[in-house]
Every structure is written in C-alpha cells, then in structure tokens.
Amino acid sequence: MIKNIVSGIMVPTFNDFIFGKPAGEKGIVKSPYGYHYIEILSQKGSSPAYKIAYLSKPILASDETVNGASTKASQFIVENRTLKEFEDNARKKESEYYHGSRSDASGKYDHRPRRQQTDG
C-alpha cells in the first residue's frame, strides 16, 4: 500500500489513474514496470489539475477554404465601389461577424462585446 502520493512523481500511466479517478475506483494499469492493480481507498487535499500541451504543427487552410475566402473578398470589392462604401460595409461585416447585426436608429453599429446573459 502506498500512501500520500504527490502528483507527478509516478510514471504517467500510474499517475493519470490515481489522480484522474475518484475514491473507490479500481483498475489495472500497465507501466514500464509491469501491470498494477490499483484501488483508490481515499483522497485528501487534492485540487483540480490541468494538462496543457503545446502542439507545434502548423494549421494550413485547405484549397476550398482559400478559394472560398478569395471569392468572398472579390465579391466584397465589386459590391463596394467607393472607399466610404468599402469602409462602412467592412465595419458592418465585422460587427455582424463578432456580435451579430446590431445597430441603433441612426444606423451606427455598436462594436462593444456583448455581455453573456445569465439566469438569475
């Protein structure tokens, strides 16, 4: 029986089981040292922990995504002949994208982030 184990000192498979399962859980874990039957009898003083990983693989857009964005950009340019039209409609599209369509009686857009609605 092992008591008072601190997270991170055991091999990963062992550590993940004992700190990722609730008290009363039983199971068999394989480690570099063999197979282990584990029963978690109690837990104390534990707090939530998080696993964070950094993935260094680049995210590349597909041809379909690139072509779709190019088509939309070309349509936007054709639909907006003057600089004022271009800027006004760019602001409108940005607002619709981030906040949904929101304007007041004057037609001006509110670019402030929306607050989350909560019950209570």
pLDDT digit string, tens, across residues 17-72: 888 888 899 999 998 889 989 998 888 766 666 677 887 888 889 999 999 999 99
How far apart (Å, rounded) are the C-alpha atoms in residues 22 and 46?
A: 11
Q: Output the pTM of the full model.
A: 0.37
Q: Contact 102/95 with Cβ under 8 angstroms?
A: yes
b/e sequence 47-83, b meaning 16+ C-beta within 10 Å: eeeeeeeeeeeeeeeeeeeeeeeeeeeeeeeeeeeee
Q: Contact 14/31 with Cβ under 8 angstroms?
A: yes
Q: Does the pLDDT of residue 78 top 80, yes or no? A: yes
